[in-house]
Amino acid sequence: MRYSTFLIQRVLLSVLVLLGLSILIFVIARVIPGDPARIALGPLASRSQIEALRAQMHLDEPLYAQYAYYLAGLLRGDFGESLYTHRAVAIDLRDLFPATLELVFYSGLLMVVIGVPLGIVAAVWRDRWVDHTVRLVSLAGVVTPAFVWAIVLMLVFAYALGVLPVAGRLSPGLVPPSAATGTVTLDALLAGNLRAYLDFLRHLILPSVSLSLAGVAQAARLTRASMVDVAGRPYIEAARAFGISESRIALKYMLKPSMIPTVTILGLDFAALLGNAFLVESVFAWPGIARYGVEVILRKDLNAIVAVVMIMGLFFVVINFCIDMLVGYLDPRIRLRQMEDAA
Amino acid sequence: MNAVAVAPAREHLRRTWYAFSRNGGSVVGLGIVVAIVLLTTFAPWLTPFPRHARAFTDFEHAGLPPGRPYALGTDTIGRDIFTRVVFGYRFSLLLGVVVLTAAVPTGVLLGLLAGYYRGWPETVIMRITDIFLSIPPLALALAIMAVLQPNLQNAMLAVSAMWWPWYTRLVYGLVSSLRTEGYVQAAQIVGASPAHILLREILPNCLPAVLTKMTLDMAFVILIGSSLSFLGLGVQPPDPDLGTMVADGAKYMPDLWWISVFPGLAILVIVLGFSLLGDGLRDVFGVEV
């Protein structure tokens, strides 16, 4: 299959998935509970108020028409007004989402920068103490919920040792850089405010480490497993027979092919970071989307809920798409297999 | 006749145990799971203050650090943390068992149908499965919790709704390769009904993989369940739940650290137990999940 055909097919599939997600959320939000207008206005609303809002929300029209209005709104980025903040949901998201995205981005970076080298080290010194240590650390990473890491790390590094800040994104006295993008990294660097950026990094360490530990563990396990899998292949023996240095064999001949399965799973893990960010943000009072998300769920604020879930879905789909493209590029066999599946 | 029948069975058991126990971790996992099951079953007799499991106040002993007689300390209204952790395990196990009981048969049945009947059932079932799998797990659970009241039953419902597609995909993959096996074709030739072929010929060969995945998933269901309660969307007070306890304790950090740290470690222990046990089963059955 040509790469362009593969690309088009993947785009269509992603659109299909988003469409499916929008239908699912529509069904959950509009069909299962009682009258959305009554929920929106509360128990004290009069009959005529409810009637008016029902008409405004197109609730008297057939379901497919309601879905069309809803989908048109989503496509315009118009999620309606939040009952919780009394502002447009899109504005709320614009204020809160960048902080979450930034946390997720740095955590994903840690996942790769720490996890993959740990896996390489474990695979090279297989069955030695390094390997056993990495395995234990990975196990601890996988079985511990992010919020437990958050609390333990906070106790040790922020309270007991006092070397890192307890919570928040910037120190209270610090003048924040003007909010151009909402992310401190870009805003601070655009404004040339290095002090704010370094302060931000100090605040970032504990949340991003708590969030990424499960992913680091997964990355280390996968890298190790696929490198060990490759290690027994004849071409590695051949490389050795040619007298190529061990480090070159490990980093070039073993690592490269073993990255293909690793990249796929890491992509999924990276996408899952967004969900887990909910758990970590609430511990560290990170000014992201988590508290908003939980609050709107508890208050049954349907417009905001739809927006939060759709944005999580969109993030997930975009990441999956990028991973598919990357893997399809790295490994042409995957494109072939897709073609066989389709046939 | 008995002696003849028993000997191979015992031999089989011995070999299975050997394969299982070769990895020390599996035995530790089994130990943890058995200990937790026993502890929760006999919780009213094994815990020092069973009444502390629900609404109870004893302000005289509030916020005590670990010591005697409160091994893991007390919370802000004087309840024994150890007792509440043990009773909290009951909710974790209940959540895991109910979710898997709901999700696994659904997922397995759909996987069987999709794998066996090519054509439209396969397309419809697998596309729906793909859509469910492409939603971030916590987002789906949050969306479902959004319209329902936050409590244990609804948390179970939400987690079940996100769990079945994994089994559909697993069984679908297995059936796709099993359906061309000789014994399946033989059954088809002698005119066995599809129900017989699916349930008596194919299903038994999927069970090792399904069972292994279920054990590993107990760990992850408990993890997700505790995450939901941590966010306030799962088990509601005064019922003890590990995630809720961690969240409550987080407000009193760092002075009353034991209120959240010990329930947090308790989650770690139960998740560790089930994942080690699952890894052991995977070795014994030699399956990929």
Tell me which of B25 and A343 has the higher pLDDT: B25
Q: Which residues of B touch A142 (CB under 8 A)?
A: 275
Interface test with B, best of A279, A282, A289 (most B CBs within 10 A): A279
Number of CB pairs < 8 Å for A and B?
139
pLDDT category of residue B31 using cuts at 50, 70 and 90: very high
Report how far residue A166's alpha carbon sits from residue A181's, in angstroms, rounded to the nearest whole number. 25
Q: Which string of DSSP letters, residue by residue, matches chain B? A: -HHHHHHHHHHHHHHHHHHHHTSHHHHHHHHHHHHHHHHHHTHHHHSS-GGGGSS---GGGTTPPS-SS-TT-B-TTS-BHHHHHHHHHHHHHHHHHHHHHHHHHHHHHHHHHHHHSTTHHHHHHHHHHHHHHTS-HHHHHHHHHHHS-SSHHHHHHHHHHHHHHHHHHHHHHHHHHHTTSHHHHHHHHTT--HHHIIIIIIHHHHHHHHHHHHHHHHHHHHHHHHHHHHTTSSSPTTS--HHHHHHHHHTTTTTTTHHHHHHHHHHHHHHHHHHHHHHHHHHHHT---
Q: In the structure, what pLDDT confidence band is assigned to residue B158 with cuts at 50, 70 and 90?
A: confident
* Partners of residue B264 in chain A, C-beta under 8 Å: 145, 147-148, 151-152
- Could you give the CA distance from residue A273 to residue B221 in angstroms, rounded to a whole number? 17
Classified as helix, coil or strand, A81 is strand
For residue B167, what are the CA distances in angstroms to B160, B210, B213, B222? 11, 7, 8, 17
Q: Chain A residues with CB inside 8 Å of B267's CB? A: 144-145, 148
CB contact under 8 A, B139 and A305: no
Mean pLDDT of A2-24: 82
Closest CB to A29 among B127, B147, B261: B147
A300 contacts B138? CB cut-off 8 A? no
B131, B231, B246 ranked by CB distance to A294: nearest: B231
Report chain B residues whose CB lies below 8 A from the CB of A144. 267-268, 271
Could you tell me which of B52, B69, B92 has the C-alpha nearest to residue B227? B92
- Whether A337 has a pLDDT exceeding 70, the answer reads no
Altogether, the residues listed in chain B come to a count of: 289
State yes or no: ipTM above 0.85: no
Tell me the HSE value of A76 on the side-chain side, using a 13 A CA sphere.
Answer: 11
- Closest-CA distance, A86 to chain B, in angstroms, reads 18
- Of A284-288, B4-8, B170-174, the range with the lowest mean pLDDT is B4-8
Give the residue, A174 or A218, on which the prediction is more confident: A218
Task: Kindly report the nearest CA distance between residue B266 and chain A, in angstroms.
Answer: 10
**B interface test, pick of A147, A164, A264, A296 with most B CB neighbours within 10 Å:** A147
Conformational region of residue B63, where left means phi above 0, alpha means psi within -120 to 50, and beta covers everything else: left
Closest of B216, B201, B214, B221 to residue B157, by C-alpha: B221
> In sequence order, what DSSP letters do the residues of A176-188 get, joined into one string?
PPP-SSS-HHHHH
| Burial of B244 from C-beta contacts in 10 A (0-12 / 13-18 / 19+) | buried
Q: Residue B47: exposed, middle, or buried by beta-carbon count in 10 A (0-12, 13-18, 19+)?
A: buried
Residues in chain A within 8 Å Cβ distance of B258: none
Residues of chain B contacting A, Cβ within 8 Å: 127-128, 130-131, 134-140, 142-148, 150, 219, 223, 226-227, 230-233, 243, 246-247, 249-250, 253-254, 257, 260-261, 264-265, 267-268, 271-272, 275
- Please tell me the distance from the alpha carbon of residue A314 to that of residue A75, in angstroms, as a whole number: 12
Higher pLDDT, A119 or A29: A119
Q: Which one of A32, A159, A298 has the shortest CB-CB distance to B254? A: A159
More confident residue, A17 or A178: A17
Q: What is the pTM of this model?
A: 0.85
**Does pLDDT of B239 surpass 50?**
yes
Give me the pLDDT at residue A340, please.
56
* Cα gap A205→A106, rounded to integer Å: 9
B231 with A28: Cβ contact below 8 A: no
Q: What is the pLDDT of residue A1?
A: 62
Quote the CA–CA distance of B142 and A173 in Å, as a whole number: 36
Strand partners, A81: A88
- Can you give the pLDDT at residue B18? 86
Confidence at A204, pLDDT banded by 50, 70, 90: very high
